[in-house]
Amino acid sequence: MLVAFTVVDANTRMGEFLLQDIGAVSGAVHPALYGDLRGVAVAIQHKDILPASAPFDAESVQSLVHIAQTRVAMVEKVALRHVFAVVAGGVGDLFVPSEWGQFRTPALFVNQVMHALLQLAQVAFGRLAWLPSCALLWHALRIPSRKPCADDEQSYAMAKRGVMEVSLIFPEAETIRKYYRGLVYLAARTCYSEKTPQQIWDEFVADKTPPERVMKLMEHVIESGHHSTIEHISFTFAIAGVSRALSHQLVRHRIGVAFDQQSQRYVKYKEPQYVTPPSIEANPDALQEFERFRDVSEEIYHRFLAQGIPAEDARFIFPNAVATNLIMTVNLRQLMHMAGLRLCTLAQWEIRQLFKLIRKEVMAADPYFGRLLVPKCVPLGYCDEKRNEDGHCRIRPHKNSVFRVWELYKRGALVERETP
């Protein structure tokens, strides 16, 4: 077996590098470990703080140090900011000393092993001056499944948590920037011109239509609510690591959107992932109960499969927290509607986070279209949610306040004044 560790200086732009690197090796990595690698990389990219403290006894740390001293070969000619240490050996020798018991995967104690591995690197490399500012990530690893020990509940729980991922997979950003504005212009211009759609499109493709003219007409139809014109462009997103609770909300949107979702009927889960609500995460007692129920349901699920129960029936034991994957294709009109509802501060936290990531993907492809994905109160100019009558969300005033001001103005109780 070959295990590669990569130590990258925290001051470099390592997030994108790590994400690309992990994607390249995903096919050779245990699925549960791949999810954790993605989670660590996303945490690094978003500058989240990963726990560094580890409840390791001295003997366990010395086991790692011994391996470092005897098996680590350092490439002396590389820059200090990118040091690659390659350790050859069996997983049993490196990751599962007798003191730690049997783990399902090394990824299950990623946060705890961070500290010990940094100590390992310090002994192996002698680069004490810059190691404290480094982040460490497993590069590639192939391992069998192992059952976690009782002392590793926290790390085991971390590995079972799904990581939400959203990718705009079609069309490419270049296609969006080159053609999508033209499609909206084509649809709108067809309504107002004697020219045929073919003639209008040919002029656009041949760059005979001024870009400012395209933008002016497109902005006019969108701001006027003539949204049939934007139904001609669509986006396809790959969505992973979201809960079934979220997907049940998402598929309630029906017009102008298509979904295909991971089937619990046909997929027999070996390592199901779960989404933990922040409110439960923040409550140690609640978190313990949540993880206990999660593990019991998974154990029963596997026992059902072993007894010959079909997966389509065994899945009935899963909680709403179990993670799922989807493909969603949606036209721009419906996407604006969905974002208007789901980016609202009153929306459920997980689906709101999903649409923040969707907006981020669209913004990266074309900022103009990304800026159309906003809470519904923004284009309306006021909030119409009854739960916000007290005005606790201040993105826009509640409609009751707006109408009260309007009534006062109509009665002459308010006087307009010019401001300097």
Known catalytic residues?
342
Token code pair at residue 268: 């027999």
Residue 67 · residue 87 · CB < 8 Å: yes
User: d(Cα 245, Cα 255) in Å, to the nearest integer?
Assistant: 20
Token code pair at residue 391: 């005005």
Distance separating the N- and C-terminal Cα atoms of the chain: 74
Give the CA count within 13 Å in the CB-facing half-sphere of 202: 5
Residue 382 · residue 413 · CB < 8 Å: no
User: d(Cα 391, Cα 388) in Å, to the nearest integer?
Assistant: 5
User: d(Cα 120, Cα 126) in Å, to the nearest integer?
Assistant: 10
Residue type, 245: A
* H-run or E-run covering 303: helix 284-306
Q: What is the sign, positive or negative, of the torsion defined by CA atoms of 405, 410, 415, 420?
A: positive
Instruction: Tell me which DSSP letter residue 148 carries.
Output: P
Q: Which residues of 379-400 are buried (b: 16+ CB within 10 A; e: fewer)?
A: eeebbebeebeeeebeebbbbe
Q: Which residue has the tokens 């295990």?
A: 3
